[in-house]
Chains A and B, each alone.
Chain A
Amino acid sequence: MKKLSTLLGASLLSFSCLVAAPIQAEETQVPSTINWTIPFGVGGGTDVWARFIAPHLTKNLEGNPTVVIKNQPGGGSITGTNLFYKRAKDNGQDILGTSASTLFPFMLGDKRVRYNFDKWLPLMASPTGGVVYVQPNLGVKSAADINKLDGVTLPFGSQGPTRLELPVLIAFEMLGLDVKPVFGMKSRGAGRLAFERGEAKIDFQTSSAYLNSVVDLVNNDKAVPLFSLGVLNKEGKVVRDPAFPDLPTFQEVYFEKYGKQPSGEAYEAYSKFLAAGFAFQKVIFIPADTPSDVIAAYRKGINAMLKDPTFIKESAVQVGPYVNVEGIDAAQHLSNALNISPDLYKWVAQWLKTKFDYTL
Chain B
Amino acid sequence: MIEFLSALDQILSIGHLTYLITGVLVGLVVGIIPGLGGIAGMSLLLPFLYGMEPSVGLGMLMGLVAVIPTGDTFTSVLMGIPGSSSSQATVMDGFPLAKKGQAARALSAAFLSSMIGGVVGAIVLSVFILVARPVVLAFSSAELFMLTLLGLSVVAALSGGNLYKGLAACGFGLLVGTIGGAPATGEFRFTLDIDYLYDGIPLVIVGLGIFALPEIVSLLVKDTAIASSKNKLGHGLGQGFKDVFANLPLVGKSSVFGSLIGAIPGLGGSVVDWMTYSFALNSSKDTSQFGKGEIRGVIAPESANNACASGSMIPTILFGVPGSGSAAVFLGGMLLLGIQPGVSMISTHLDLTYTIIWSLAMANILGAIFCICFTRPISLLTYIKFSILTPIILTLILFAAYQATRSLGDFILLGVVASLGILMKGANWPRPAFLIGFVLSSGAENYFFQSIQFYGTSWFSRPGVIIIAALIVIGFVLPPILKKRKEAKLADASDAEKAVAPAEEKQTMSYADLAIVAVFAVCGGYALFDVWDMAKLTRSFPIIAIAIVLFSVVMVIFKSVREKHQMTAAGLTPNLVYIAGFFGIAYGYYLFGFICTTFVFSLVFLRLIAKASYIKSTTIAVCLVIFLVTLGRVMHVDYPEGMFDEYLLNAIRLIV
CB of A27 closer than 8 Å to a CB of B: no
Closest A residue to B136 by beta carbon equals A193
Task: Jot down 28 A-B pairs with beta carbons below 8 A, ordered by A.
Answer: A42-B39, A42-B43, A43-B329, A47-B332, A48-B332, A48-B335, A74-B405, A79-B199, A79-B407, A82-B195, A162-B186, A186-B266, A187-B321, A189-B320, A190-B266, A196-B137, A196-B319, A197-B137, A212-B320, A212-B340, A212-B341, A212-B342, A213-B320, A213-B340, A358-B185, A358-B535, A359-B187, A359-B535
Given A51-B50, A213-B320, A356-B185, A197 contacting B140 (CB threshold 8 A): yes
Interface string of A157-176 (1 = CB under 8 A from B): 00011110000000000000
Additional pairs, 5, CB under 8 Å, beyond known A70-B636, A193-B319, A358-B185:
A43-B335, A71-B39, A183-B183, A189-B321, A194-B140
A residues near B185, Cβ cutoff 8 Å: 160-161, 183, 356-358
Q: How far is the CA of A155 from the CA of B340 in the complex (A)?
A: 27
Quote the shortest CB–CB distance from B461 to chain A (angstroms).
16
Q: Which of B43, B140, B336 contacts A52 (CB 8 A)?
A: B336
B residues near A51, Cβ cutoff 8 Å: 46, 50, 336
CB of B141 closer than 8 Å to a CB of A: yes
B405 touches A44 (CB 8 A): no
Closest A residue to B449 by beta carbon equals A184
CB of B184 closer than 8 Å to a CB of A: yes
Interface string of A49-83 (1 = CB under 8 A from B): 00110010000000000001111111100010010
CB of A19 closer than 8 Å to a CB of B: no
A68 touches B181 (CB 8 A): no
CB of B507 closer than 8 Å to a CB of A: no
Closest A residue to B445 by beta carbon equals A184
Q: How far is the CA of A99 from the CA of B216 in the complex (A)?
A: 42
Closest B residue to A54 by beta carbon equals B50
CB of A199 closer than 8 Å to a CB of B: yes
CB of B446 closer than 8 Å to a CB of A: yes
Q: Which of B195, B321, B407 contacts A193 (CB 8 A)?
A: B321
A161 touches B186 (CB 8 A): yes
CB of B406 closer than 8 Å to a CB of A: yes
Q: Which of B340, B446, B450, B638 contacts A70 (CB 8 A)?
A: B638
CB of A216 closer than 8 Å to a CB of B: yes
CB of B532 closer than 8 Å to a CB of A: no
Q: Which of B181, B320, B454 contacts A194 (CB 8 A)?
A: B454
Given A70-B636, A184-B184, A189 contacting B319 (CB threshold 8 A): yes
Interface string of B128-146 (1 = CB under 8 A from A): 0000000001101100000
CB of B167 closer than 8 Å to a CB of A: no
A residues near B329, Cβ cutoff 8 Å: 42-43
CB of A299 closer than 8 Å to a CB of B: no
Q: How far is the CA of A48 from the CA of B342 in the complex (A)?
A: 18
CB of B333 closer than 8 Å to a CB of A: yes
Q: How far is the CA of A56 from the CA of B39 in the complex (A)?
A: 23
CB of B343 closer than 8 Å to a CB of A: yes
CB of A317 closer than 8 Å to a CB of B: yes
B344 touches A160 (CB 8 A): no
User: Chain B: interface secondary structure?
Assistant: helix
Closest A residue to B138 by beta carbon equals A197
CB of A312 closer than 8 Å to a CB of B: no
B residues near A88, Cβ cutoff 8 Å: none
Q: How far is the CA of A317 from the CA of B51 in the complex (A)?
A: 14
Interface string of B301-339 (1 = CB under 8 A from A): 000000000000000000111100000111111011010
Quote the shortest CB–CB distance from B204 to chain A (angstroms).
13
A184 touches B183 (CB 8 A): yes
Quote the shortest CB–CB distance from A320 to chain B (angstroms).
13
CB of A257 closer than 8 Å to a CB of B: no
Quote the shortest CB–CB distance from B40 to chain A (angstroms).
9
A residues near B121, Cβ cutoff 8 Å: none
Q: How far is the CA of A318 from the CA of B319 in the complex (A)?
A: 18
Q: How far is the CA of A48 from the CA of B321 in the complex (A)?
A: 15
Q: How far is the CA of A186 from the CA of B181 in the complex (A)?
A: 12
CB of A119 closer than 8 Å to a CB of B: no
CB of B289 closer than 8 Å to a CB of A: no
Interface string of B402-417 (1 = CB under 8 A from A): 0001110000000000
CB of A180 closer than 8 Å to a CB of B: yes
CB of A112 closer than 8 Å to a CB of B: yes
Given A43-B332, A51-B50, A75-B195, A358 contacting B137 (CB threshold 8 A): no
Quote the shortest CB–CB distance from B161 to chain A (angstroms).
36
Closest A residue to B322 by beta carbon equals A43
B321 touches A199 (CB 8 A): no
B336 touches A48 (CB 8 A): yes
Q: How far is the CA of A216 from the CA of B320 in the complex (A)?
A: 13
With a 10 A CB-CB cut-off, give which of B39, B43, B320, B335 has the most chain A CB atoms: B335
Interface string of A188-207 (1 = CB under 8 A from B): 01101110110110000000
Q: How far is the CA of A212 from the CA of B334 in the complex (A)?
A: 13
Closest B residue to A180 by beta carbon equals B453
A residues near B535, Cβ cutoff 8 Å: 357-359
Closest A residue to B641 by beta carbon equals A87
Q: Which of A47, A79, A160, A357 contacts B195 (CB 8 A)?
A: A79
With a 10 A CB-CB cut-off, give which of B319, B330, B455, B536 has the most chain A CB atoms: B319
A213 touches B453 (CB 8 A): no
Closest A residue to B536 by beta carbon equals A357
CB of A136 closer than 8 Å to a CB of B: no
CB of A182 closer than 8 Å to a CB of B: yes
Quote the shortest CB–CB distance from B350 to chain A (angstroms).
15
A residues near B173, Cβ cutoff 8 Å: none
Quote the shortest CB–CB distance from B631 to chain A (angstroms).
15
B446 touches A184 (CB 8 A): yes
Q: Which of B43, B343, B537 contacts A216 (CB 8 A)?
A: B343
B residues near A187, Cβ cutoff 8 Å: 321
Closest A residue to B38 by beta carbon equals A42
A residues near B342, Cβ cutoff 8 Å: 212-213, 216
A43 touches B331 (CB 8 A): yes
Q: How far is the CA of A77 from the CA of B321 in the complex (A)?
A: 20
Closest B residue to A211 by beta carbon equals B340
Q: How far is the CA of A42 from the CA of B44 in the complex (A)?
A: 12
Closest A residue to B331 by beta carbon equals A43
A residues near B199, Cβ cutoff 8 Å: 74-75, 79
CB of B42 closer than 8 Å to a CB of A: yes
Q: How far is the CA of A190 from the CA of B330 in the complex (A)?
A: 17
CB of B265 closer than 8 Å to a CB of A: yes
Interface string of B175-200 (1 = CB under 8 A from A): 00000010111110000000100110
CB of A41 closer than 8 Å to a CB of B: yes
Closest A residue to B265 by beta carbon equals A193
Q: How far is the CA of A163 from the CA of B51 in the complex (A)?
A: 33
A residues near B195, Cβ cutoff 8 Å: 75, 79, 82, 112
Q: How far is the CA of A72 from the CA of B402 in the complex (A)?
A: 12
Q: How far is the CA of A184 from the CA of B379 in the complex (A)?
A: 44
B450 touches A358 (CB 8 A): no
Quote the shortest CB–CB distance from A222 to chain B (angstroms).
11
Q: Which of B333, B407, B454 contacts A182 (CB 8 A)?
A: B454
Q: How far is the CA of A213 from the CA of B343 in the complex (A)?
A: 8
B residues near A79, Cβ cutoff 8 Å: 195, 199, 405, 407
Q: How far is the CA of A212 from the CA of B321 in the complex (A)?
A: 13
Q: How far is the CA of A42 from the CA of B455 in the complex (A)?
A: 35
Q: Which of B42, B50, B407 contacts A42 (CB 8 A)?
A: B42
A317 touches B338 (CB 8 A): yes
Q: How far is the CA of A184 from the CA of B537 in the complex (A)?
A: 11
Interface string of B26-66 (1 = CB under 8 A from A): 00000000000001001100100011000000000000000
Closest A residue to B188 by beta carbon equals A112
Q: How far is the CA of A160 from the CA of B183 in the complex (A)?
A: 8
Chain B residues numbered 328-378 whose CB sits less than 8 Å from any CB in chain A = 328-333, 335-336, 338, 340-344
B450 touches A184 (CB 8 A): yes
B residues near A44, Cβ cutoff 8 Å: 328, 332
Given A213-B320, A216-B343, A160 contacting B141 (CB threshold 8 A): no
B residues near A52, Cβ cutoff 8 Å: 50, 336
A residues near B336, Cβ cutoff 8 Å: 48, 51-52
B39 touches A75 (CB 8 A): no
Closest A residue to B332 by beta carbon equals A43
